[in-house]
Amino acid sequence: MKRHRHLLVGATTALFACVALGTSPAMATACTNLRSLQLQHTVINSADDNTTGTFMVPGSSPPTTITGLPAFCRVTATLIPSSDSSIKIEVWLPETTWNGRFLGTGGGGFQGTITYNELALGIQGGFAATNSDLGTGSSGCNPLFCGSAGNMGNPLAIDFGDPTAPSTGLFGHPERIKDFGYRAIHLMTERGKEIVSAFYGHRSQRAYFAGCSTGGQNALMEAQRFPNDYDGILAGAAAFNRTHLHMAGLYGWQNTHASPGRFIQAGQMTLINQAVLKQCVGQDGGAKTDQFLTDPRDCHFDPKVLLCTGGNAPPACLTSDQVTTMQRYYAGTIDPVNGQVVNPGSQRGNETDDILALGLAFQERLPEPAFDGLFYWVFGPSFGYPASATNFANFDFHHDIAKVDDQLAAVLNATSSDLGDFRAHGGKLLMYHGWADPLIPSQSSINYFLALVGNEGQGPQPVGFFDHGNGPGNPALRRTQSYARLFMVPGLYHCSGGPGPNTFDALTPLVKWVEAGVAPDTILATKFVADTPPAVQMTRPLCVFPKVAKYNGSGDANNAASFTCVADENDFNQKPAPKYGP
């Protein structure tokens, strides 16, 4: 009924529009002219001027309005590279404030929606910006769910958008899987650049991509598969090792649901985090007053120290079962037969009871694992039924991995370490990852960066270790840093939030690197009071990996000037088995 009502409203509006046109013809603009633009495998759905300074996010609940926007032309389009594809994109074009640059942007999880805040930030910075739903919206997907047994009445699952009834996501839709894996972003980029040229009358001078999480995967996929699309690429907390990362989600859920006693209770992640900080803070270069770790690899906290003794009981301590849960949390996703690492473990210091951080406190409270929609794409609806051979509760981390990888790895995993064409094009890659990320293991980005170094001829190293020398002894590192740099961010959760300096601008240094040849050695990061500008709680330099920010021993520990980027010692970095890596 609601759909028919919309049709009637549309018809009435069209009638009044005809009357108005008859009395005072509306002038076409450079923006509205784009409605007739003809592009390959593309339908332009709308092209409208927005001069209000605000934008109401479609479908937002509660209604969300973005403010402080320049006048812009909003173009919506659908890309149809295959008969089963339906990729939604938007291109936002500043009308008088364009800086001559193109900006592709990413989203999170399974996407399925347009990430409007990324578009807004883009045009506020003067870029012509574009974003895509990655084609998963056509299967009813949202960032957290793209295949599910249904929310099963679980309040948390309902709040986070888990559908009521079972769904299978992209099962039976191999073309949509390709769109999600790599095609949507590439075509968004090509069509977006054509729309920019049509609107402004000339091409953009430079093209950049910025994304975190799935956006980080998109970023690395672009550098690997389509090296000429972008001049500069910003990849945050990249979900590049996609299939094995989602297996880690399954593993974590199974870990806490192995028996009723294995569940970590409310408040206990905070208890564990405080114990981690008490043992390790300030030992890795940071200040003793920090509420986060500067380099968690220096911390060897064992949750056994919190084992309940005497008259103590949870949640003030951990049972032996809960100790096992946390030990496995840190140990990583392991093949139980051969002991191989499938995906690295969580770092000490990322423990949080904040469900918005998407860590263990979120994961374990859901009726099935978060992000397990990926496996419905392979196993179909049976993955949601406990009686089936392979489901979310009994997924076998020795026998079932190969089937998933055989079907999805080549399309979804951005694991190639050969960026020779991107470098030859003059491209620059800037990566970052939060050391307190509870969703994607922090060392995954280090593993990818070290794989790039390995491609530059780094000699044999002990497993998990790396020669941090910045002198003549490590020319491979210097060659890699000429086009790719990594910044690890102390106290940053997944892409945002966290107890550390979690707000920083990495795009401006990337632009300066591409256009002025000035490679960034440090990036200034800020922690705002209550994570809300403008009151500053602290600042800290982010150092180009493998350097770390070391407290000078005197001065205000909340001031970046009291820290110096220094060469780090040789830390162990857990990495997957070669067939699951890098």
Domain boundaries, the chain: 2-204
**Alpha-carbon distances of 139 from 158, 264, 477, rounded to whole Å:** 18, 34, 43
- What mean pLDDT is predicted for residues 483-496? 98
pLDDT of 569: 84
CA 196 to chain centroid, in Å, comes to 26
242-256 vs 401-412: helix crossing angle, rounded to 10 = 140
Hey, which residues does 540 pair with through a beta bridge?
525
pLDDT of 29: 83
pTM (2 decimals)? 0.93
| pLDDT band at residue 466 using 50, 70 and 90 as cut-offs | low
The token pair at 423 is 């470098």
Where does residue 411 fall: left (phi above 0), alpha (psi -120 to 50 degrees), or beta otherwise?
alpha
The count of other CB atoms within 10 Å of the CB of residue 226 is: 18
pLDDT of 17: 31
Indicate the length of the chain as a whole number. 582
Q: Where are the beta strands (DSSP E) in 404-501?
A: 428-434, 484-489
Neighbouring C-alpha atoms within 13 Å toward the C-beta of 427 = 26
pLDDT of 346: 97
| Cα separation, 329 vs 498, whole angstroms | 19
- pLDDT at 4 exceeding the cut of 70: no
H or E segment at 538? strand 536-543
Instruction: Tell me the three state secondary structure of residue 144.
Output: coil
Hey, which residues does 206 pair with through a beta bridge?
101
| Cα separation, 145 vs 482, whole angstroms | 39
- What mean pLDDT is predicted for residues 161-184? 97
- What mean pLDDT is predicted for residues 521-535? 97
pLDDT of 467: 57
- pLDDT at 295 exceeding the cut of 70: yes
pLDDT in tens, 79-107: 999 999 999 999 999 999 999 999 999 99
**Alpha-carbon distances of 84 from 24, 113, 140, rounded to whole Å:** 42, 18, 14
| pLDDT band at residue 12 using 50, 70 and 90 as cut-offs | very low
pLDDT of 20: 32
Hey, which residues does 485 pair with through a beta bridge?
430
184-200 vs 214-225: helix crossing angle, rounded to 10 = 80
| Cα separation, 103 vs 52, whole angstroms | 22
Q: Which residues lie below 8 Å from residue 526, measured CB to CB, with a gap of 6+?
A: 501, 503, 504, 536, 538, 539
| Cα separation, 483 vs 517, whole angstroms | 10
pLDDT of 468: 55
pLDDT in tens, 500-523: 999 999 999 999 999 999 999 999
Q: Where are the beta strands (DSSP E) in 112-201?
A: 128-132
| Cα separation, 447 vs 576, whole angstroms | 9
pLDDT of 350: 98
- pLDDT at 51 exceeding the cut of 80: yes
| pLDDT band at residue 463 using 50, 70 and 90 as cut-offs | low
| pLDDT band at residue 461 using 50, 70 and 90 as cut-offs | low
Q: Are strands 65-66 and 55-56 parallel, antiparallel or unpaired?
A: antiparallel
pLDDT of 27: 63
pLDDT of 469: 52
pLDDT of 21: 31
- Are the beta carbons of 306 and 318 closer than 8 angstroms? yes
Instruction: Tell me the three state secondary structure of residue 357.
Output: helix
Q: What percentage of the chain exceeds 70 in pLDDT?
A: 93
